[in-house]
Amino acid sequence: SESGLMATVVAGLVLRASALPEERMLRRFKGQLTVLGVSVLFVLLAADLSLASIMALGWGSVLTVLVLMLVIRPLSVMVCTWNSDLNWRQKLFVAWIAPKGIVSASVASLFAILLTEQGINGGDAIKALVFLTILMTVFFQGLSARFVAKGLKITSLEATGAVIVGCTPLGRLMGSLFQEAGESVVMIDTDTEACEKARQDDLSVFESSALDPDVLAEAGIESIGTFIALTNNGEVNSVLAQRAVEEFEPPRVFAVLPRKEKDAEKAKASKKIVSAFQADVPMKTWNQYLQAGQVKLGETVLKSTGLAFQQAHIDALIKAGELLPLLVKRDKGLQVAAAQEALQAGDRLIYLLHDPRPKLLKRLSGGSSTGRLAMETLPEIEEVPLSVASTIASA
């Protein structure tokens, strides 16, 4: 048994130090083997346990397990996570959810055998108490884990942070907006110049290909709430979004999908991929607007009175190519504006407004132009005339 354990440890160290081309697939296969092995081991260990030995422990054993669950476990978690990055909600959840106990079950079974061979009583009682602990923790904590996570608001749906692929002007703007909202942001791109511009905006950048699952994993996609593909190539965005869904399943996946109808339908085949901003976003056009400083960044609040008119006016400006919805603040959360977003009363919509002639919107807003794009006090969206597009076209 000792040689087998040592062989397993050495094999793990060697594989970890090796540059394996399919390491992620190997980890997934290892995980499947682990589930199978642990399941079989639990059955074998429990098969040698009699129900009478558990009943013989009495109510004192139940009290012992409760002390372990409600006192010892929380104290140990508090000490171990004292200087960690976990917040109090996460610490409380970790304190409630105990390990599954396969190691303790194995060791207890081994001790029971050794004590019995030495003629010492108490081996079966130790084994019975360990399995009673496993039974009670799995029953109470396992069944309540989902409800506790929801109550503490630490489910995957409440996860924050964003991984954004594409250090384009629009991508950098989205990253800055998420970061200003207090969320962690990681940008990924292969363009050295674009990555440098993102770093100048104080954004964390990975200069590599997002098509590599290892790059996505290193960027922290497994722990973030939002993945956004914002390159200028719609087909690449579609592939990136599908790869993210298949490999990591982040809670929210957005992408600027290809304008070709067939490719768009293929990308939308996965219900987990949401078309960002609006249908058929002209990414290159809006990035050119941003580079030329021909946009204004604004925010408006949807009101219950006149909501239908506000939505109709926003849709008209979007169709005219004058407005691009970016983010929606709802219920103290920040989310990417999806195509055909059903806006609600109380929503705060952050948007870009096309400004080919800065003086036009400068007169409307009373603002002044700045070097860096910042949120401005723009006129209410419904006050922006729909004739702006036709006026610009004829100029």
Residues 170 and 249 in one domain: yes
CA nearest to 301, candidates 277, 321, 341, 330: 330
Residues 263 and 350 in one domain: no
Look at the block and give the residue holding tokens 């309540």. Answer: 144
What's the pLDDT score for residue 84? 83
What's the pLDDT score for residue 209? 92
- What does the alpha-carbon distance between residue 170 and residue 228 come to, in Å, rounded to a whole number? 11
What's the pLDDT score for residue 200? 93
Residue 140 is given by DSSP the state: H
| 333, β-bridge pairs | 330
Predicted model pTM = 0.69
Residue 15 lies in a domain: no
Residues 223 and 141 in one domain: no
- What does the alpha-carbon distance between residue 136 and residue 292 come to, in Å, rounded to a whole number? 64
As for how many domains the chain has, the answer is 3
Residue 10 lies in a domain: no
DSSP code per residue over 61-129: HHHHHHHIIIIIHHHHHHHHTTTSS--HHHHHHHHHS----HHHHHHHHHHHHHHHHTT-TTHHHHHHH
Residues 300 and 376 in one domain: yes
Residues 239 and 334 in one domain: no
Residue range 325-342, pLDDT digits in tens: 999 998 878 899 998 778
Residues 221 and 143 in one domain: no
pLDDT at 194 over 90: yes
Establish how many alpha carbons lie within 13 A of residue 1's alpha carbon, considering only the half-sphere containing its beta carbon: 3
Provide mean pLDDT across the span 145-173. Answer: 87
pLDDT at 352 over 70: yes
Residues 111 and 164 in one domain: no
What's the pLDDT score for residue 138? 85
Residue 176 lies in a domain: yes
Residue 6 lies in a domain: no
Residues 118 and 196 in one domain: no
Provide mean pLDDT across the span 94-102. Answer: 79
Q: Which domain holds residue 375?
A: 293-395
Residue 135 lies in a domain: yes
Residues 191 and 133 in one domain: no
